[in-house]
Amino acid sequence: MKKVAIIGSGTMGNGIAHTFAQNNFQVSLIDVSDDALKKALITIEKNLDRQVVKGVISDGDKSKTLANIQTFNNLKEGVGDADLVVEAASENLETKLKIFKELDNLTKPETILASNTSSISITKIASITNRTDRVIGMHFMNPVPVMKLVEVIRGYSTSNEVTNTVLELSKSLSKSPVEVNDYPGFVANRILMPMINEAIYTLFEGVAGVAEIDTVMKLGMAHPMGPLQLADFIGLDVCLSILEVLHKGFGNPKYAPCPLLVNMVAAGKKGVKSGEGFYSYDHGTKDLIVAEKFRK
């Protein structure tokens, strides 16, 4: 297995492409937008430059990594000879179902189809294909080149062979894969999102301010990043989407998104990606400034 196709060139997609290419895989990075692909390559090169400065890789490694990546805006051309396809498109069920239906028709019968979904059912995604045994979840963590964890999500029909192949493949990327079963939110987000949601409720109910909530969790619980800053980093729209999947999947009110989160997403305040969430990012993310809405 040496040829990998990545669908989606956003934050997760370009990070996954970077990681595979750096480990000597031939990578096809696919996106409908030429501008998005150009931006992705710029991001990958900047991240490689950081690794060179830190002594993690050499200039030669950087050049080889970039040479391992080809870009495509045509799905058929990009996935035709792939041994593995990793979908990292929008966290939207209908979008994913459409992509996987196309992939089932465009790829070799033996190609493994993986999704980087953070919450959507692998079993449901697989059901749209004629290869339910070869569909699996590979949930990478952001930033992908740095974070070690890969949640390997086994759908109801995913075979032992495919699961073991993906576990070993993840190890070859210097990752630490963990096999989990296919239930809403898997493990990472089933635990993380209720914590973030509770932090938003704590703010919503006036218990404490943004900086105070994050400081308590950083200093008291040894979290490297407070839950509200982390929500901004993930994207408030993504947090809302995952909570909605959890709420619908389990039918439990404890997963109901906080009204404040719902309103912020509706207002376009999605965190780092939009320049404002619980913090303002107009001046960069190194100096965190609480957003005007939440200042006392």
pLDDT, tens digit (0-9, with 9 covering 90-100), for 166-220: 999 999 999 999 999 999 999 999 999 999 999 999 999 999 999 999 999 999 9
Compute the distance between CA of residue 15 and CA of residue 232 in angstroms, rounded to an integer: 18
Compute the distance between CA of residue 35 and CA of residue 21 in angstroms, rounded to an integer: 21
Percent of the chain with pLDDT over 90: 95
Give the pLDDT of residue 287: 73
Q: What angle do CA 60, 61, 66 make, to 5 degrees?
A: 100
Amino acid at 38: K
Q: Pick the catalytic residue from 87, 91, 151, 276.
A: 151
pLDDT at 137 over 90: yes
Q: Pick the catalytic residue from 47, 119, 139, 247.
A: 139
Amino acid at 6: I
Q: Pick the catalytic residue from 118, 119, 241, 280.
A: 118
Distances (CA, A) of 219 to 20, 205, 224, 277: 35, 22, 9, 22
Strands of the chain (E only): list them.
Answer: 3-7, 26-30, 69-72, 84-87, 112-115, 135-140, 149-154, 176-181, 279-280, 289-290
Question: What tokens were used for 56?
Answer: 């993690």
Amino acid at 216: V
| Known active-site residue 189 | yes
Q: CB count, 10 Å around CB of 275?
A: 14
Q: Output phi, psi for 191, to 5 deg.
A: -90, -45
pLDDT in tens, 106-122: 999 999 999 999 999 99
| Known active-site residue 159 | no
Q: Pick the catalytic residue from 189, 197, 241, 280.
A: 189
| Known active-site residue 161 | no
Q: Report the phi/psi class of residue 66: left, alpha or beta, with left for phi > 0 and alpha for psi in -120 to 50.
A: alpha
* Environment class of 252 (CB within 10 Å of its CB; exposed 0-12, middle 13-18, buried 19+): exposed
| Known active-site residue 164 | no
Q: Output phi, psi for 143, to 5 deg.
A: -80, 130
Give the pLDDT of residue 90: 86
pLDDT in tens, 66-114: 999 999 999 999 999 999 999 999 888 999 999 999 999 999 999 999 9
Compute the distance between CA of residue 198 and CA of residue 7 in angstroms, rounded to an integer: 33
**pTM, 2 dp:** 0.91
